[in-house]
Structure 1
């Protein structure tokens, strides 16, 4: 057993893989239309799933789903018109976070998820204060030299099957969780990451709500220096 997965701080952490689908209206930030989360803990038996949740989210009138969005996700304006509001959907996820449990969010290109969460923070204040791990940053550390670090590239590298409904939140959370677990195995077995603190240094991103409220500090930045991320 390597140092990372033996670290008590790592074992006490709940890792919540998160993915949004969103619309991007001109002149406005991205608006979520679907969310999925998958909670994982590392125990003696290995990785254990401790919870999951998914919900559609009704977008505001200024951010309708576009034909291109429907082509990518399969979600239609009719479906979303009767979906839960952001208060209902994001509030429901937020209430799943216990105040006594340490959490880290896990996302591929975490800046995307973090920006959506920050802009919706009135509906999910606990989620908005939860720091993140970026699987792109972790992959660059563990697998240097790939042509790029898009999610599909990592799925091919790890021989993980493409889900039929790729670009839906639940499917993307499931494959991101698989990639995360493979990366942790590499980090652990090769001694690339010694403990949770080192993992955060390599791949951590600070939630915007946890940054000092000063000019210029509201851009999401990597914990350990500026590393360019790539979209999915």
Structure 2
């Protein structure tokens, strides 16, 4: 190992993520037996404009690179220069993937063993608040001139790497990092290996946090450790950027996938993480609302909102809401006009509902009609289901549950198998209250559709139904009967 050749490399780029990054400058210093034996540095024409904010950072502008060689003109030089060397860089994944991307554009494959001086420093010089090149050099008194230029950063990294070599005289740490099984070079620079090793291989959620401990990504998994590592092995720009900004990983065991989905949804709603796309925006809900019009008639209508209100009924797609409104209109002999199922201001003329008793022609009294509307509203409230879905807990002696009361998701919890749980009130001491949303409804609805009545405990309550409603329910399967509000 003492005669091993190391290539200390730094590139400056146009920015724009791994796939869109083009090199504007490259420097390579060859190190052997602890000494620099050769160095190569050049500006590179990226064949695209350099953004102003990049020029502000590096000082490299379009005019400087106009006459510089393009990458295809120096590719052979880089290939030969680093042929027998281990690729070393501060945050190696960035420089290595950018160079590989340039070779890939030429239809060529570039592959080297690699070492990250950020991760090596964390291991061999532990306890520092920051391992960025600039701050680490300031802390351990390494001269770092001409920052954010390839040669200046390489010169500082060379001195840092020489110190790391002196702290690892038998090369045990470097050899462990080079071991293909270690995946050290693949892991993000700011996450200690211990954090990865301590991750459980069980169901739950995980949170990626930045340097300020802000949640930047929330995910769920059947196997937390395996899923977290998969983010770091993924070469997509988004996954790479997520790894670069992650400093801490927290997790929470849930015991089963349903709870993991619900807890993940709550963290996304609460923290609005930068790297989560799905579930960030509140989905539209449709609600049956009631109000009294100028004639004193209680009118039903469909309201569209992105916030859950305590309405007569809440639905998560428009078709479902209209079907329910049509159903109660026909069942209780209401007027389609005053259920806003048609826009005409004259006598109702719905294509299917024909049993209006004349409120639109003023042959039915307002008082009599309003009693029917009130009965319809009451039936909607009374027919909201209450049930619990039980599942595997975090330990062998524990049961997890999700609670839905009167059609609304209330939260989740865990209880010991020895507990006597018989009715809905028995769940309350163990319940962790959560906020219902379109997404929690969709998660539970999907679970019921997939698993049916298995592990579901539902609570029977007196339900007053019209003959029409009873007939409609009998036509459905037992599964639909129990979960009709969760289709």
Query: In 2, Cα distance between the equivalents of 1:135 and 1:36?
Result: 16
Q: In structure 2, which of residues 162, 176, 192 is the aligned counterpart of residue 198 of structure 1? A: 176
- Equivalence for 1:19: 10
Q: Residue 89 of structure 1 is aligned with which of 56, 70, 74?
A: 74
How far is 1:216 from its partner? Answer: 8.7
Corresponding residue of 2:221: none
Question: What CA distance in whole angstroms lies between the structure 2 residues aligned with 1:230 and 1:51?
Answer: 34
Q: CA RMSD in A?
A: 2.9
Name the CA distance, whole Å, in 2 between partners of 1:14 and 1:27: 27
Q: Tell whether 2:35 aligns with 1:53.
A: no
In structure 2, list runs of 5 or more residues that go unmatched.
Answer: 187-229, 236-242, 247-487
Local SS of the residue matching 1:120: helix
Deviation at 1:229, TM superposition (A): 5.7
Deviates more, 1:52-61 or 1:133-142: 52-61
Deviations 1:136-167 (A, max 9, x none): 1101111222112111121022201230x211
| Matching residue of 2:354 | none
1:182 alignment partner in structure 2: 163
> Structure 2 length normalisation: TM-score?
0.36
Q: How far off its partner does 1:19 sit?
A: 0.3
Question: What is the TM-score with the length of structure 1 in the denominator?
Answer: 0.73
1:133-212 aligned within 5 A? 133-163=115-145, 165-188=146-169, 193-194=171-172, 196-201=174-179, 204-205=184-185
Q: Aligned ranges for residues 123-138 of structure 1 at < 5 Å?
A: 123=106, 125=108, 128-138=110-120
The structure having more radius of gyration, on CA atoms, is 2
After superposition, what is the alpha-carbon deviation per residue over 1:45-91, rounded to whole angstroms, capped at 9, x for unaligned? xx222211011111123xx1122222222212111121101101233
The alignment of Structure 1 onto Structure 2 pairs a total of residues equal to 193
Counterpart-to-counterpart distance in 1, 2:10 and 2:17: 22
Question: 1:114-153 CA deviation, whole Å, 9 max, x = no partner?
Answer: 2102211245957x21121000110111122211211112
Instruction: Assess, with a 3 A threshold, how the Cα gap between structure 1 residues 203 and 15 changes in structure 2: closer, same or farther.
Output: farther
Candidates 58, 67, 73, aligned match of 1:73 = 58
SS in 2 for 1:94: helix
Is 2:144–2:153's contact at 8 Å kept on the other side of the alignment?
no
Q: Which residue of 2 aligns with 1:32?
A: 23
Look up the SS of the partner of 2:81 in the other structure. coil
